[in-house]
Amino acid sequence: MKLVVLACLAVVAVVAAESEAEHVAILKDERQDSGDGNFNWAIETENGIAMSVIGTPGAEKGQVNMEGTYRLTFPDGTEAEVRFIANENGFQPESDLLPTPHPLPAHVHELLKIAEQQRAEGITFE
């Protein structure tokens, strides 16, 4: 009996949580799949979320290479976009949102040049 009551309470909690969730209309949902690893799709919602992806077969069996973008709108109205490539070299995103490393100091460039020259001369350190 206690199990039935707990199950009923769990169902009521799930339904209540779903009814409080924001429902967002889908404005665009386009999908094409040739079945051989080539595909493309694009989705856009009324709250400013959009994503489009193009996929092609990769070099290895079962591998798929993808290229695309996704976009979202922050609560302040600012739009953010991320472009990406995902292939045998991994996931490679590009966006103004992503942090970038600080530029290397000038002396580091000089040290790298010296190290390259030493390698070319066959100098090694153990």
Q: What are the start-end ranges of the E strands in 2-126?
A: 26-33, 39-45, 50-57, 64-73, 79-87, 90-94
pLDDT of 92: 92
pLDDT level of residue 21 (50, 70, 90 thresholds): low
Please check whether residue 69 is in contact with residue 81, taking contact to mean a CB–CB distance below 8 angstroms: yes
- The pLDDT mean for the chain works out to 82
Q: Which residues contact 42 (CB under 8 A, 6 or more apart)?
A: 28, 29, 30, 50, 51, 52, 53
By three-state DSSP, how is residue 106 classified?
Answer: helix
Q: What is the pLDDT of residue 40?
A: 95
Residue pLDDT, tens place only, 22-78: 788 999 999 999 888 899 999 999 888 999 999 999 888 878 899 999 998 888 888
pLDDT value, residue 69: 95
The domain locations on the chain are 25-116
Q: What is the pTM of this model?
A: 0.59
Nearest to 66 by CA among 38, 98, 45, 47: 38
pLDDT tens profile 82-101 = 999 999 889 999 998 888 88
